Structure 1
Amino acid sequence: MVEAKPGKKSDRVTIREVAEDAGVSVAAVSKVLREAYGVSESLRNKVRASMDKLNYRPLASARGMRGQTYTLGLILPDIRNPFFADILAGVNSALERTQYQLMMGTSHSHGPAEEAMIEAMIDRQMDGIILIGTTKYVDRLGHLARQKPLVAIGHHAKSNTDFDTVNNDDQLGARLVVKHLLANGFRNIAMLSLATTTSTILAERELGYRREMIEQGVGENINIVRSPQTLREVQIAARRLLGGPDRPEALFCWTDFIALEVISVATELGLSIPGDLAIVGYDNTMYCDFAQNALTSVDQSGELLGLQSARLLIERVRGRGEAEHFVVTPRVVARNSSKRRAV
């Protein structure tokens, strides 16, 4: 008969060992881990010093059984869009001095993938979810928020009470673009938008573009071209618009990611920017400043959006019940791509 061997002792540091090293009770360490109310700064520093010294890592599954895992989910529609990197930087900055860890996934703007990712984050007992630019899950956000604390970035839902939102004033941003281009001598202004029926940010930007064009007396020049977000489809739409007989004088693109591709297409067609065509983007990402782009863009403070989304989500996790809807005021950052037209 083979004698059973005793199980191997785990090398993982326990909460009891942290307590012994810090010279405090296990209950005190637990309070620090839970960020319980009333814990003094000196006790917190002492316990955290022992955690760092012993390389203590709380077991996520055990914390989940006690009610929190201190993990947050972030779902991006696309990792290629540089604006989402700005948001991610803001979220990470907000979490630096907290116990929360961020887990990230990409949906590629695909409804079933987004839904599966959300369900996986719920199954893994994440404490809350930040959802960026959803266009497929909008009808179920309330249902989701009743299961798990939720913050939506890039979704206007001021009447909602189940979840928080973080946005810029998209309608104002589009109005500012039209005003800027008109002030620089461009009147035939078109807009390149996204082919979707569910994005509230696109609806707001298109509405702002339309309203400002009408109020400025150039409503007859309203021209909204919609394209899927794949680069191939954007190239096709841009070539059709810029190579036709009714080429606009200026083009307002709904995001920098698309505007940069339009600059490439315009250059291939032999058009000078802004001599033959002015181009304005939206997001003011780092690539706008590159000399070969010099792209005028609407700054909606991506890092601030990320900071605020993390703040709101943690407040939700900790029990806040009233919905908050944070809005950033946009501004136009002018560069060479929309420089004033020579008279």
Structure 2
Amino acid sequence: MQKKTGPRTPRITIREVASDAGVSVAAVSKVLRDAYGVSEALRAKVQASMEKLNYRPLASARGLRGRTYTIGLLLPDLRNPFFADIFDGVTSALARTQYQAMQGISVTASELVDAMIDRQMDGLILIGPNEMAERISEIAHRVPLVLIGHHEPGDESFDTVNNDDQLGARLVVRHLHANGYRRIAMISLARASTVVSQRELGYRLEMVDHGLGSDTLIIRSTQVLRDVQLAVRRLLESDNRPDAIFCWTDLIAIEAISVATELGVSIPHDVAIVGYDNTMYCDFAQHRLTSVDQSGELLGIQAARLLVERIEGRTAPEHFVVTPRIVARASSAKSSRTSKSGQDR
């Protein structure tokens, strides 16, 4: 038998808050809108009554007054732990404001973007957007917009927050070369994006700079587990097996470590492995994964800052870039095959 629920507690209204605080409804409305000229004494009195009565303004009603104090954060994937770092940064930055972030996950963000705009969210942050330039421009002209992981700003209607992805890939090749590795392969993403394109370019350029252009090898894979495993197996079982593998993200690098371990390939003695993002799993003893730190939390903090500024009226574009760094761990330790004299093999 289904248990009956009691009657719902009536929702506290703005009039009840005004009555409890001994002020007008208009005064409460001004506090809620954070209107200009509201004294600290009035604000404190109204907020005390709101807390006492457990008053929560309806987001829909706030939207009718012009602002809902909600922003949409769109992630392309829930499995990649790097996106959690970005989300932490966004929520940390918004903690000092009235804004709340609503999270959505979608590889193709179009329908979700429209849904968030229809729900009157004040602005959007898109991570690694897989949208055409025309579509991004259209979104930016409908709602304040910040993109994370997008290296083609295109117009001045939105802001971007990026890691210097080309430099990050260069740092990987530079690090591996310094440790004695020469046949350095890269596992990249099958789906094109400006982020992976920049990392591939940095990899190629640095390989050429070190005279390793003929050893350049890029294998592209989806993020489906089986596809990644097959790509890594092909590399490790090839006749001319690379002595180092650079993976475009830690999620792929950790799977590469698993496949190598299963095949009895020693890391880093037989093959070095390097990831990108420096997520928390890199420090695990079974991984000890060298990775590129691009500070996901900082990316999130800056994206939230820029979006709030856009919502508050700034129109001039800003493009914030994080400088990456290599965090070296055991997975790319100095090659034992390098001669003591330091010369190439």
TM range (shorter): over 0.9
Distance in 2, Cα, partners of 1:224 & 1:241: 10
Q: Report the equivalent of 1:34.
A: 33
Aligned residues of 1:185 and 1:341 also touching (Cα < 8 A) = yes
Listed as ranges, the matches of 1:88-103 within 5 Å are 88-103=87-102
Instruction: Please say which of residues 279-288 and 14-23 is displaced more in the overlay.
Output: 14-23
Q: Report the equivalent of 2:130.
A: 135
The 3-state SS of whatever aligns with 2:93 is helix
Aligned residues of 1:135 and 1:196 also touching (Cα < 8 A) = no
Q: Report the equivalent of 1:3.
A: none
Distance in 2, Cα, partners of 1:53 & 1:332: 51
Report how many residues are paired: 331
Aligned residues of 1:115 and 1:137 also touching (Cα < 8 A) = no
Q: Report the equivalent of 2:64.
A: 65
Aligned residues of 2:133 and 2:154 also touching (Cα < 8 A) = no
* Displacement of 1:334: 0.5
Distance in 2, Cα, partners of 1:137 & 1:86: 26
Mark the CA change 1:293 to 1:54 in structure 2 (over 3 Å): closer, same or farther. same
Mark the CA change 1:341 to 1:148 in structure 2 (over 3 Å): closer, same or farther. same
Q: Is the counterpart of residue 269 in structure 1 residue 263 in structure 2?
A: yes
Distance in 2, Cα, partners of 1:240 & 1:323: 44
Q: Report the equivalent of 1:211.
A: 205
Mark the CA change 1:235 to 1:313 in structure 2 (over 3 Å): closer, same or farther. same
Distance in 2, Cα, partners of 1:219 & 1:45: 66
* Displacement of 1:10: 7.5
Structure 1 counterpart of 2:271, which letter?
L
Question: Which of 185, 188, 196 lines up with 2:183 in the alignment?
Answer: 188
Q: Report the equivalent of 1:172.
A: 167
Note the residue ranges of structure 1 that are not aligned, 5 or more in a row.
Answer: 1-7
Listed as ranges, the matches of 1:1-343 within 5 Å are 11-107=10-106, 109=107, 111=108, 114-197=109-192, 199-342=193-336, 343=338
Distance in 1, Cα, partners of 2:132 & 2:218: 25
TM-score norm. by structure 1 comes to 0.92
Note the residue ranges of structure 2 that are not aligned, 5 or more in a row.
Answer: 1-6, 339-345
Distance in 2, Cα, partners of 1:127 & 1:64: 9
Structure 1 counterpart of 2:103, which letter?
M
Aligned residues of 1:283 and 1:301 also touching (Cα < 8 A) = yes
Structure 2 counterpart of 1:268, which letter?
E
1:274-332 Cα deviation digits (max 9, x unpaired): 11110110000000000000000000000111111111111111111111111111000
TM-score norm. by structure 2 comes to 0.92
The 3-state SS of whatever aligns with 2:219 is strand
* Displacement of 1:40: 4.0
Aligned residues of 1:60 and 1:69 also touching (Cα < 8 A) = yes
1:82-136 Cα deviation digits (max 9, x unpaired): 00000011111111132212211111x2x3xx21111111111111111111224
Structure 2 counterpart of 1:222, which letter?
T
Give the % identical residues. 68
Distance in 1, Cα, partners of 2:328 & 2:136: 36
Distance in 2, Cα, partners of 1:41 & 1:29: 13
Distance in 2, Cα, partners of 1:173 & 1:38: 48
